[in-house]
Amino acid sequence: MFYNVPQRRKALQSPSDEYRKILDVVTRYAIHNQGVAISCKKTGSASPDVNTTASATILETIGRLFSETLKKELMHLEFTDKKLGFKVEGYFSTANYNAKKAITMIFINNRLVDCSPLRKSLEITYQSILPKGNFPFIYISLEIAPDRVDPNVHPNKKEVHFLDQDEIVERICDKLNVFLAGSNSSRSYNVQTLLPMATPDDKGINSSQTNTSQSKTSKSAKVLPQKLVRTDHRSQTLQSMLRRPTGLSGDDLTPGPSNSTEDLISSQMPALSNNSSSQAPQSISHTIKIEESRCLLKSIQDLRQEIKLKNDDDLENLIRYHTFVGVVDTQKGYSCIQHETRLHMLYHFSFCEELFYQLGVRQFGSFDRIQLKPAVPVQTLVTLAVDSEPSEYLDGIGRSHAVQKICERLYSKAEMLDEYFSFQIDPASGTLITLPVLLPEHVPNMEKLPLFLVRVAVECDWTDEMSCFSSFLRELAFFYTPSSLPLESMSEEQIQATDEDEKEQLKQLIFPSMKRYLAPPSDLRNDVKQVTSLPELYKVFERC
């Protein structure tokens, strides 16, 4: 260990420091290994610093190694989640216990590790019940299938990650919240009796001193106006609880004679099974939970890992804790958001497309379906797209031949598209039957459907599995990204209604979903610009 690498010996600290670290590790393993007697003592010492018996329970060992006071304030948590494939057992301190230093022990598959997302989430769960500056005691043992755990996050193997990490952490914290809510119903306080020698004068002096100290504290804690954050990213409005149904309705889609491409698109668009022609307001959920599908395909696991590796922490913080200000321009794709004291303008087309791509990767193989009623002829839609962009798709061949080749490509991939993406094409009838649901309550712009079908056939890489899935999901994300492209036949009122509908979707559905599910890559940095900040505005308007 030291002969070939002398730097290791130089890295060692004093014997007392090294022994302290050894003692800490031994203590944690002594608690975890019930039924095993463990002893640890320093050379030359008469008595061991750690000494446990094989017959002791985990709770008794904690009381022996820490304190009986801690032992009395611990609650036992144990449950199994077969859906996510994990088992949890642990001891957590109640609301009555608090310490100046956090004690967190995390064992995954009987190995002492550190899992930052789990540790931080557990500590955040306690913040609402513990006084500021106080910390809990946490011992948790997590059992997960070894093939779902990644120990290669750090060279020293201390930090680990695992599949479905966000969902598992959220499930554990939810359970802990329930337990803590019960323990928080009663508190124990140390009360000092009134001293018999206390006089009114003393009380007055103490009161004045207390008031003085409180006033000093309040003055020191006062935030300058130019640095005061006046919005809360978690706040909601009453309007956000109601919205009108979006998308196409059956009454608007009655086929009729068409003399232009725009008319033909309108006549061929299907009614969607999950739409209502009623204009009554409907409730909308801001906490739509989208489960990550369980998929063993290496290509999908690689795509999910790629999303995590490309995640930009600064951008994620900006998106997760922003307050939506409004849409600047729907056709150019600009919106404004506020983050703390800064106002940013972002190109929301790029962010929406990345969100829908990541939602596609997240739900691979388990999409809900949008039923098209009636089913749409694929050849008709492909013809519309080819006619609108003839130079791009004809490539020196006849129009009918190009349409035929594109349709044949779609028919040949129909089984795979249906199985993995719920994108159902019936080769026998030549119709498109269903589309996948990427985001509940969101309906794509059906005017982009003809172009989407052609791009799937032409732009997707069908030679490699991972490239095929990735390129198809990118095209699907582009299709689902809101973009109001007014048709020439639309009236001014129709254009305005479409514009308002898109703004409503962005405000009430898409941006809230970004907060929860988007892991923005650093490529999107160029699509965000800071417009101004409160300190900068105060420099200009402070004297007004």
Taking residues 231-249, report their average pLDDT: 50
Give CA angle at 315 (310, 318), nearest 5°: 155
Q: Write down the pLDDT at residue 409.
A: 94
407 close to 378: Cβ distance less than 8 angstroms: yes
How many secondary structure helices (H) and strands (E) does the chain include? 20, 19
224 CB-near residues (< 8 Å, 6+ apart): none
- d(C-alpha 177, C-alpha 165), whole Å: 18
> What are the structure tokens assigned to 159, written together?
């930090």
What is the β-pairing status of strands 424-426 and 242-243?
unpaired
405 CB-near residues (< 8 Å, 6+ apart): 397
Could you tell me where in the chain the CATH 3.30.230.10 domains are found? 15-183
112 close to 28: Cβ distance less than 8 angstroms: yes
- d(C-alpha 457, C-alpha 374), whole Å: 23
Q: Write down the pLDDT at residue 13.
A: 79
Radius of gyration of the chain (CA): 31
Q: Write down the pLDDT at residue 524.
A: 93
Could you read off the pLDDT of 467-480 as tens digits, one per residue?
999 999 999 999 99
Could you read off the pLDDT of 125-165 as tens digits, one per residue?
888 888 888 889 999 999 999 999 988 887 778 889 999 99
- d(C-alpha 312, C-alpha 309), whole Å: 8
279 close to 244: Cβ distance less than 8 angstroms: yes
Q: Write down the pLDDT at residue 228.
A: 60
Could you read off the pLDDT of 167-220 as tens digits, one per residue?
999 999 989 988 887 665 555 555 554 455 444 444 444 444 545 445 444 444
Taking residues 225-246, report their average pLDDT: 53
Taking residues 434-451, report their average pLDDT: 90
Residue 267 has pLDDT above 50, yes or no: no
Q: Kindly list the distances between the CA atom of residue 97 and the CA atoms of 68, 82, 140, 165, in Å, as whole numbers in the listed order.
A: 12, 32, 17, 28
- Inter-axis angle of helices 465-480 and 348-362, nearest 10: 130
CATH architecture of 15-183: 2-Layer Sandwich (3.30)
Q: Write down the pLDDT at residue 184.
A: 58
Strand order in the sheet with 74-81: 74-81, 86-93, 137-144, 103-108, 111-113
- d(C-alpha 215, C-alpha 384), whole Å: 73
What is the β-pairing status of strands 137-144 and 103-108?
parallel
Could you read off the pLDDT of 495-507 as tens digits, one per residue?
788 888 888 889 8
- d(C-alpha 148, C-alpha 5), whole Å: 34
Short-list 334, 344, 291, CA closest to 314 = 344
Short-list 39, 59, 523, CA closest to 309 = 523
Short-list 311, 342, 381, CA closest to 165 = 311
Q: Write down the pLDDT at residue 216.
A: 47
Q: Look at residue 61 and give its three-state secondary structure.
A: helix
Indicate the length of the chain as a whole number: 544
pTM of the model: 0.54
